[in-house]
A and B are shown apart, each in its own frame.
Chain A
Amino acid sequence: DQQVKQNSPSLSVQEGRISILNCDYTNSMFDYFLWYKKYPAEGPTFLISISSIKDKNEDGRFTVFLNKSAKHLSLHIVPSQPGDSAVYFCAASVGNAGGTSYGKLTFGQGTILTVHP
């Protein structure tokens, strides 16, 4: 049972435009969500997170939106840069950074983002 789903295996965007990566989840107990960026043969690198008490969190070019009623979150990258090309994973957790459950992440399958110059 895939509790976190990224239905788009790949996304191609022109440099300077917006990249929108989507993620859906089924477990209503999830209350903390994270986005990671991953290059081949490397571990994931944390990008941005959001708690379920918020619907938006912004950090520079990265913004994460959370729609709890739809059990959907998205990552917006504006403007997209060629260096953003990587695999992006969304992940969910029961319990936030202060909770003992934090770290037990359920990951989506990932979306390969390619930003063309």
Chain B
Amino acid sequence: GAVVSQHPSWVICKSGTSVKIECRSLDFQATTMFWYRQFPKQSLMLMATSNEGSKATYEQGVEKDKFLINHASLTLSTLTVTSAHPEDSSFYICSARGRGLDSPLHFGNGTRLTVT
């Protein structure tokens, strides 16, 4: 079946550095990808919608200059957390859907980001 691969699964970085997270659809073309984050014991919160070949649409309250999203191909979207701070530490999850009207939504396994 369709699989969404997310890399890395976990990352530790120092405050002030940038971290890139990749989301790949392995056997289908994902025209739309979504980025979520989850704080401990809280729900998944949608951050942004990424459409191939166009600018991402960010949810209210999400800083687009801090969370850079690039959906350069039909199988890859990247989320870059720029100038990371400890409060950015979270679990980031991507999801993707294919072209068809009935195309289901598939989630990656998530990335645990810890900023020290």
Asked whether any CB of chain B lies closer than 8 Å to the CB of A83, the reply is: no
Asked whether any CB of chain B lies closer than 8 Å to the CB of A42, the reply is: yes
Interface residues of B in 67-116 (CB under 8 A from A): 91, 93, 95, 97, 101-110, 112
Chain A count of residues within 8 A CB distance of the other chain? 22
Q: Looking at the complex, which one of B9, B41, B95, B101 makes contact with A41 (CB distance below 8 Å)? A: B9
**Residues from chain A with Cβ under 8 Å of B25 in the complex:** none
A103–B6 CB distance below 8 A? no
Mostly, the B contact residues are strand
Find the B residue at minimum CB distance from A9: B41
Chain B residues within CB distance 8 Å of chain A = 4, 6, 9-10, 32, 34, 36, 41-46, 49, 91, 93, 95, 97, 101-110, 112
Q: List 30 A-B contacts (CB under 8 A).
A: A2-B43, A4-B43, A41-B10, A41-B110, A42-B109, A42-B110, A43-B4, A43-B6, A43-B108, A43-B110, A44-B44, A44-B107, A45-B107, A46-B104, A46-B106, A89-B43, A89-B44, A97-B102, A102-B97, A102-B105, A103-B49, A103-B95, A103-B97, A104-B34, A104-B49, A105-B105, A108-B43, A109-B41, A109-B42, A110-B43
